[in-house]
Amino acid sequence: MKPVAANIDLDQLRATLEHTWLKRRLLFLLRTERDEWLKAVATEPLPEVLEGIPAQIQQSRHLLSSLLEGYSPAQLIDQGVLAALPREARGLIRDAVHRAYLNSNVMQPLVARFGTALNDVESQAAQVPSAWATGVGNEKLTGVLMNLEYAAEQLRRALLDLPQEVVLP
Amino acid sequence: MKIFFFGTEQKLPLALQPNFSDYEDNWDDPWFWLVHPGSLSSFLIEKQEQVSKCIKRGGAILLVSGSPLCSEKEAQRLEAEKNDRIHFLRSSCTDSPVGSAPSRVALRILRFLKLIEDLNPYETVPWSEVEASRWPENLLAIYLVVKALQTCLEDESAIRNAWDLMDTEWKRKVWVNAWNEYHEDLKMNASSWTDAGLPALDGDLGMPVSSKVAAATTTLRRAFPN
């Protein structure tokens, strides 16, 4: 049985968000460049990594909307051994297995946690431009960046806590 | 070992790319290559000399791909030919069996590359760390059908009928393979199979009767990790 394309995309998107964006860029730069950023004058443009947050949030929302389906064992029905069954029977099994998966309620709390963490990052990130505009040494920007770092770390942890495999009911 | 990426960069998850070192054209350093070949045959033939040098220096090569590379049997043959210094990601093989799962390929490779960074030349490469654990394919199929029977009572007879109408040899093969996965591979207790209403292999090859479906579901579920 081969992995389905949708899940490969899901995996790549998750890895890219967790590793490339959060760990290696946003969190890394929030920790190493914050002091430099606080010295910047208001007329300087926002650092690229901060300016790019909305685009990454959009990608994260795409992932969020795919999570529940992406972990469903329903996708296994049309592969491997059961592919030999008549299409109508596969449809019945697929629907029943998906229903059992939803009833197991394994993914919903994880999806909710990811959604909450994403909302927090979005909310904190939305405050960055106005805080940046107030200029050098302002306490507001310090607080906003610290809160953003905390929210980004929570988002990363929510991504890491997603299951490693399709969830069986 | 330093890690070098060789192949079609845009097809590799972005998450993997920051791990790569800049390639230096001196063959004194052993390199671990992460390869995403456009085509397996052209890679191994066209890069034959470099592959040999890499291996001779104590390096190793992992071939990953979004598209099928070759059959698992062919992969095993090529790996043996290179003394296990090359490895084909099994999910990329044309006939890869049921995987656990589709997910986390990229994260698994990332974790694997961390191990590689600490590896010395000529050391045995822990290839198993890059592969997903595999679910027993036939047991999984049986489990999904039984779970469907348990979950959706209104469709139970239709699902049973579809199963019963399948070719006898097909059903026997599925049950025999499932039994082997259960008892031989997973070392699960033989009596728990019959206690759960799962069929004897020389008898009726139908699904467990309604009164045993719950027990069968519970028993089969133990074969899977999550």
Residue A2 lies in a domain: no
Q: Which of the listed ranges A22-31, A45-54, A109-118, B105-114 does the model predict with the highest average pLDDT?
A: A109-118
Residue A146 lies in a domain: yes
Do B107 and A82 count as a contact with CB atoms less than 8 A apart? Answer: no
3-state secondary structure at position A44:
coil
B11, B19, B151: best mutation site toward chain A, by most A Cβ within 10 Å? B151
Sheet containing strand B86-88, strands side by side: B2-7, B31-36, B60-63, B86-88
Q: pLDDT tens-digit profile of B25-47?
A: 554 566 788 777 666 666 777 77
Residue A142 lies in a domain: yes
For residue A15, what pLDDT band results from cuts at 50, 70 and 90?
A: confident
Do A15 and B15 count as a contact with CB atoms less than 8 A apart? Answer: yes
> What pLDDT shows up at residue A3?
33
Query: Is-contact A166 A33, C-beta < 8 A?
Result: no
Q: Please identify among residues 85-124 of chain B the ones whose CB lies closer than 8 Å to any CB of chain A.
A: 91, 96-107, 110
For range B96-107, the mean pLDDT: 56
3-state secondary structure at position B201:
coil
* DSSP track, B36-55: E-S-HHHHHHHTHHHHHHHH
Q: What is the pTM of this model?
A: 0.76
Q: pLDDT tens-digit profile of A107-161?
A: 999 999 999 999 999 999 999 998 888 766 678 888 999 999 999 999 999 998 8
Number of domains in chain A: 1
Smallest CA-to-CA distance from A75 within A9, A12, A15, A17 is with A9
For residue B162, list chain A residues with Cβ-Cβ distance below 8 A: 85-86, 88-89, 92
Query: Is-contact B33 B6, C-beta < 8 A?
Result: yes
Would you say residue B223 has pLDDT above 70? yes
Q: What is d(CA B20, CA B2) in angstroms, rounded to the nearest whole number?
A: 8
The CA distance from B60 to the nearest CA of chain A, in Å, is: 24
Q: How many CB pairs under 8 A join A and B?
A: 154
In degrees, rounded to 5, the angle at the alpha carbon of residue B41 between the alpha carbons of residues B38 and B46 is: 85
Residue A119 lies in a domain: yes
Residues B172, B176, B179, B181, Cα dihedral to 10°: -130
Q: pLDDT tens-digit profile of A56-112?
A: 999 999 999 999 998 899 988 988 899 999 999 999 999 999 999 999 999 999 999
For range B106-134, the mean pLDDT: 85
Residue A99 lies in a domain: yes
Residue A168 lies in a domain: no
Residue A75 lies in a domain: yes
For range B1-17, the mean pLDDT: 60
**A133-149 b/e with 16+ CB inside 10 Å = b?**
eeeeeeeebeebbebbb
Q: Which domain holds residue A68?
A: 7-161
Do A3 and B101 count as a contact with CB atoms less than 8 A apart? Answer: yes
Residue A97 lies in a domain: yes
Q: Which of the listed ranges A113-127, B8-22, B187-201 does the model predict with the highest average pLDDT?
A: A113-127
Q: What is d(CA B7, CA B36) in angstroms, rounded to the nearest whole number?
A: 5
ipTM: 0.83
3-state secondary structure at position B31:
strand
